[in-house]
Amino acid sequence: MAKDLIIVESPAKAKTISKFLDKKYNIKASMGHIRDLPKKSFGVDIEKDFKPKYVVDNKKRKVVKELKNAASAAEKIYLASDHDREGEAIAWHLVQTLKKELKGKDVYRIIFNEITRTTIRKAIKEPGRIDEKKVESQQARRILDRIVGYNISPVLWKVIAKKLSAGRVQSVALRIICEREKKITDFKPQEYWNIHAQLFKDKLEPFKATLTKWKNKKAKLNNKKETDEIVKHLKNKEFLLSKIKSSSRKIHPSPPYITSTLQQDASRILNFSQKRTMLTAQQLYEGIDIQKGTAGLITYMRTDSMRIAKEALSSCRKLVTERFGKKELPAKTRVFKSKKSAQDAHEAIRPTDPFRTPETMESFLTKDQLKLYTLIWQRFIATQMKPVSLKNKKLTIDIGSAQFEASGSTIIDKGFLKAYPHTLVILGENIDPNYAESDILKCKKLDPEQKFTKPPARFTEASLVKELESKGIGRPSTYAAITNTLRTRKYVELKARKFFPTDLGLTVNKFLVGSFSDFFNVEFTAEMENKLDEIEFGKIEWQKLLRKYHDSLEKLISKVDTKEIKSNLQEKTGIKCEKCGSEMILKWSKNGQFLACSNYPECKNIKNFTRNKEGKIEIKKPEKLDQKCPKCGGDLVIKNGRYGRFIGCSNYPKCKYIKPFTLGIKCPECEDGEITEKRNKRGKYFYSCTNYPKCKFVTNFKPVAVKCPECGNYYMEEHFSKKKDTKYLKCPKCGKTVF
């Protein structure tokens, strides 16, 4: 009897599902999308209602062949890709590609939010069909991105440099980062002062109070002179505790995680990058080998919904009762509402079984998996626990024309903090309960404090995701891709976990905002996300949306004066060309900025440059070596080329002698050659032997002429520690590390 075929996206998911089903099912992985728009051509027929031309990915031809063979031998075919737009599109593309093999057979779409035995078997018993509207929405998004890329990117090449690209959503994220950078650059700190008093009575613990009113008005101290006058007025006067106000407050638990909040907390609490978070979550979702077999430990991790299944809520409350006691349960089951913009295709991120506690799973998980699973488990359990109860106390202290205030809180009941200890609870001052109204207080110390207003903070990965989500830009599945693309294109850099726009990023943003502001802005991009949702819900036709977008974009492009924009983007330097006397200007190439003569093409003088600490341009002079050229006797210098540094003659172009730039370290494999520095087409450095191809020694880590203190190896390798944000040396022979 022929086996029914189930097609999933990944081998890990296939492995987990296979352990839940009888052997009558043949389970194969498509490895994600098997076809897409062509890479080297537009692939969309504008005149035929934006008809796309899809091609099978060359890397997936072997996978497609296996799927065709499996589909030919099967009676029924179940498409089990993820339950979102991309997953629906993957299923649709499979049907289109395997059309011949599927002819006359039953083809079903099965969906599930978690990979457990119960949900998988239930999905197979209750199969559905491909949601064509979801497919249309995904297709519209894909073609929109192609329209932008193939229409605006060539304009970028003309005005800045070749091989640059402008993504529809990524460009808005870049704009947000650049606008924040401008606010930081333009920010002028304003001075202000606070006055704190350390007050006490008898042997009671002192507390800190802060000046809040001066002469019946809100205290606003702008300089030292004003502050000193008040301090002088307060000295040797009695502090009267005029009022004590007690109150209570509750802190309720946060909703279960959605994609954006999981990424934010994983960054804040675990120091995980977006990529690390999503990769680890994918592993927990697709399946972990545990004692009783393989199981998915969490629900689908790309979601914007806070909805939780009733069965899961019931199981959670049962665990809270058994683990923490019935008194820790709120009277009613706590339910959270999703945002209006949420697609609500999945539940929130939660454990598939709350009784799989982190401590029982520890032996089956990697360190990263355990950390992230613990965070998800704790957050979910906390949703069905009592709030934190606090008792607040606010003290008002009068002294002459001044009024001070102090406040503090005491935790009466820890509530959900027993499960999820990561919620920040600010308690303020620890105020002794024996203080009473009308107490005369002594001042231990009167402390004036100078402060300055601070500029807005640069975005971290977590705060950028939060900003994008709040503005309605992107969707759960796109957040990590957005930031990764910006870094890959070298539009931004991540330093000390904060985003800094590069010179290239600032230039690209200046052009895009100046020429296409109506398209690359927050409001338009958020509206476009809503339009894609409307396509999914059948409210608008995807071709009409694309037509409107395409025609408007064409009109804008026709108005772009590339020569004028290119001239405006070229930065004047005030440096004179030593060949013709014209001014040198900054230009862009695919490898970065360089100095060029403004009299081009009559004068083709170009130079490399650097910027000093003040940002001033300095001409980068080739580093001279204490060696002479064997051909002409000129000085040998270190130059920068397409593939990295090399040694050349200072008499170029009359003398074109060159040789590889070496590090002065013998090759450890042949000992006949030396290690040379090179750069590949992607701009990454690597190190190989000068005897290549006879000797094929290669390493990605920079060799340093330092002997290993452990084994005496004659060189170490330079590595970088993200955790410590510093470089260190490691011996390639024995592994000894030196910070």
Provide φ and ψ at 734, rounded to 5°. Answer: -110, -10
For strand 606-607 and strand 685-689, is the pairing parallel, antiparallel, or unpaired?
A: unpaired
Residues 269 and 254: beta-carbon distance below 8 Å: no
The DSSP code sequence of 641-652 is ETTEEEEEETTT
Residue 276, SS3 per DSSP: helix
Burial of residue 337 (number of CB atoms within 10 Å: 0-12, 13-18, 19+): exposed
Residue bearing tokens 């890959």: 488
Instruction: Give CA–CA dist 88/79, Å, rounded.
Output: 9
Cα 202 to Cα 701: distance, rounded to the nearest angstrom: 65
Q: Tokens 């094929």 identify what position?
A: 696
User: What are the contacts of 67-72 at 24+ separation with CB within 8 A?
Assistant: 67/7, 67/28, 67/30, 67/34, 67/94, 67/97, 67/98, 68/98, 68/100, 68/101, 70/5, 70/26, 70/28, 71/5, 71/98, 71/101, 71/102, 71/105, 72/101
Compute the distance between CA of residue 686 and CA of residue 675 in angstroms, rounded to an integer: 10
**From the candidates 78, 300, 420, 479, which is the catalytic residue?**
300
Strand, helix or coil at 153? helix
The residue type found at 67 is L
CA distances from 705 to 574, 666, 667, 685, 730 (A): 41, 10, 12, 18, 12
Q: Is 491 one of the catalytic residues?
A: no
- Dist. CA 87–CA 411, nearest whole Å: 46
- Rounded Cα distance between 700 and 718, Å, is 10
> From the CB of residue 259, how many other CB atoms can be counted at a distance below 10 Å?
28
- Is beta strand 76-79 parallel, antiparallel or unpaired with respect to 4-8? parallel
Cα–Cα distance between 481 and 362 in angstroms, integer? 30
Written as six digits, the tokens of 26 are 């043949």
Q: What angle do CA 734, 738, 739 make, to 5 degrees?
A: 150
Q: CA–CA separation, 23 vs 500, rounded Å?
A: 53
| Catalytic machinery residues | 300
